[in-house]
Amino acid sequence: MADEGYLLDNRQTQAGTRFAALAELFDPSTFRHLTARGLGPGWRCWEAGAGARSVPDRLADQVGPGGQVVVSDIDTSWLEATDRPGQMRVVRHDVGVEPPPARDLDLVHARLVLTHVPRRDEALRSMVAALRPGGWLVVEEADPGLQPLLCPDEYGPEQQLANRLRHGFRELMAGRAADLAYGRTLPRRLRELGLRDVGADAYFPITGPACTTLEIATVEQIRDRLIEGGIATAAEVDEHLDNLAAGRVPDLATSPMITAWGRRA
């Protein structure tokens, strides 16, 4: 089932819903880690593979008028409208191929990016190269292998169907060369790149409206792929979406989000 390109295309109509749900689920954890690294006024930051505006806008709020945020993505369609000229710079950029869009930075941050980048190790080295001495790299990647279930409490047929479709989603991702175990390797990789004060933790919600919103948008985006790949019939996909909309599978979990950080010597 090998395939090319990012499975969850940002040009699809459901992308905005996914971005909003991801922000609700993970922005508090992301900024807890960034604040702990000292993020504050005057910092120069690079948000790599931003996708949408929630993290860049909040970074800009934190660094203030004296700071700068460079925002990059291979697809900037959700990023280009900005009301922060001089403070935020949006660039089209392939993090695995092109050199860093800025240097001598206080912070480089990426969330849910490297798993999907074919040249992910080159991308990680590029992020390190963009840091000033003492600057921080914070990388966040989901690790579905650590907790593969959409419904950890699999007590009925609705939950069984949900978990089967989640397994199929992982198959589709792996078929596009995504590294679904990359998150757990981040602490080692940061140490191998010479970073100091390396640490990591993991976080994942196991219930809540945003989990349901994210799942509905994701399944709608990959519906045809699930059917074409023989993972589920059209009726089964529709049944799952109906179960979600009716609240019959209320306790949905995300994959663990592993956040790893390290400081350039």
More confident residue, 80 or 76: 76
- 135, 106 contact by CB (below 8 A): yes
Q: What's the pLDDT at 238? A: 98
pLDDT band with cut points at 50, 70 and 90 for residue 123? very high
Please provide the CATH number assigned to the domain covering 15-263.
3.40.50.150
How is the chain split into domains, by residue range? Answer: 15-263
Share of the chain above pLDDT 70, in %: 95
- Please determine, for residue 5, whether its predicted confidence score (pLDDT) is greater than 60: no
Q: Which range is most confident: 39-43, 81-85, 165-169?
A: 39-43
Is 2's pLDDT higher than 60? no
Closest among 251, 255, 233 to 243, alpha carbons compared: 251
Question: Does residue 173 surpass a pLDDT of 90?
Answer: no
Model pLDDT for residues 45-77, shown as the tens digit of each residue: 999 999 999 999 999 999 999 999 999 999 998
- According to the model, what pLDDT value does residue 14 have? 84
For residue 99, what pLDDT is reported? Answer: 96
Q: What's the pTM?
A: 0.93
Which two tokens mark 34? 């960034």
CA gap 99, 216 in Å, rounded: 36
At residue 6, the pLDDT reads 58
Residue 4 pLDDT greater than 60, yes or no: no
**How many Å apart are CA 59 and CA 116, to the nearest integer?**
23
